[in-house]
Structure 1
């Protein structure tokens, strides 16, 4: 089995099952992951196997509230992050505010409306494709101004590395990462691999995230129909979302030009800046 195939197989581990430390530590301590003390699920999207993005430019992670001094130094130094984009609700930010990082600009934009309430009934059938399609299309709609700010950064500041995070660094952040990889021309299997890697990246906080999901959905137990479909990351769910973007907007590029208002020249520059140093 190739290294990439083995990585994907581990990333497809059902969330009801533990990934042991012997399995995940070797993965989380080498590229594309970056160890940043006090957060999790941190990686350089440009170092995902097969990624066309230039390395050292676009980073993603989970919440930053617990960053240690060493973690802060890694973000500023080794990673060279100049801007942090926070994709969370006001309530999430109030409970766990980002730390102040000297020399790093923090960007948070009030969403147009609150995130939609998740209905587990929509995740029961199959692998939860309907629920994921609806949930991620809602993310695209709610966080439009954040997407716009990130794309403007890529267009205007191609020499300034940036990091995007939400709470778990897997769904809202994953949608953004998939959008950027797609714009850069990544094959679908590379987009999906980066998406699935959050399964490994969140393993150190898996039980906390299960609890977070229980509270967010008002699930009565882990065994409630649809719950594990919601928690698992699967290629079929990403495919359902991409199909939804195509039907709703005509694809990612049409969303960027028609919905966010970027010109074709802007789009070309964004693509170039994602891939060229």
Structure 2
């Protein structure tokens, strides 16, 4: 498994520059990434360097609609995933229907409202931090029912590995990754690394996506701190979890299973 420093160096490659297949190929086929044929940007949150999460429990990825038979066998068998959370919108699901997996429960919960149209002017200055802060703060707000269902799964079903995905596995899924890692006690550096790894995980579709920068993620987390008091307070105030619930979530997400 690559170390924190080497992964971070590759993940901080400017989006205007190509990461060659020779560079990203070995990374995407080794931890923390999971080679799930027909998917993109798939990784085990427990294998991020310095992650407090236990391996083999919480996975994240891009859409699953193009998964191959081999990928399906890995998801159902080797990974032992028992539940998939789909964060996509209804139009996205209609365009690329979610596969049905044997022995796997799929959960889709509509967002509380449709997402706003992006104001591209907000991405024009600096590294686009203002735009990302606004976009991600909206994501964390309108997907409250999904965040609650995912954390309830961690609290109540610790023996059932799960996967969360959107389309690219980057923005909405990135917010989920940051939330769970933070509640599990991850450092800011570890949370930021997980976010930035989508720069490598989405390299095959790089030209379709906007920039990924550490400063964009920091602008978002600063916004969460200002608006909610941080991820922990968000989980308490907006999702309704008690201190006891959060302690259970942290224990289930981090402690090895017997």
TM-score by length of 1: 0.90
Q: Deviations over 1:81-127 (max 9, x none)?
A: 00000001111111001111010000000111001111110011111
Q: Which residue of 2 aligns with 1:82?
A: 82
Work out whether 1:161 is the aligned partner of 2:161. yes
How far has the Cα of 1:264 moved from its partner?
Answer: 1.4
Distance of 2:175 and 2:181 partners within structure 1: 10
SS of aligned partner of 2:59: strand
Matched, 1:92 2:71: no
Give 5+ residue unaligned stretches, structure 2.
none
- Asked if 1:248 is matched to 2:222, the reply is no
Gaps of 5+ in 1: 211-230
Query: Are 2:216 and 1:237 equivalent residues in the alignment?
Result: yes
C-alpha separation in 2, matches of 1:126 and 1:87? 29
Q: Give the Cα separation in 2 of the matches to 1:268 and 1:6.
A: 33
Aligned positions of 1:97-108 closer than 5 A: 97-108=97-108
Show CA shifts across 1:42-75 (max 9, x none): 0000001110100000000000000111111110
The alignment of Structure 1 onto Structure 2 pairs a total of residues equal to 255
Cα shift at 1:29: 0.9
Q: How does 1:134-173 map to 2 (within 5 A)?
A: 134-173=134-173
Length-normalised TM-score, structure 2: 0.97
Whole-angstrom distance in 2 between the partners of 1:3 and 1:51: 12
Distance 1:135 1:245 in 2: 12
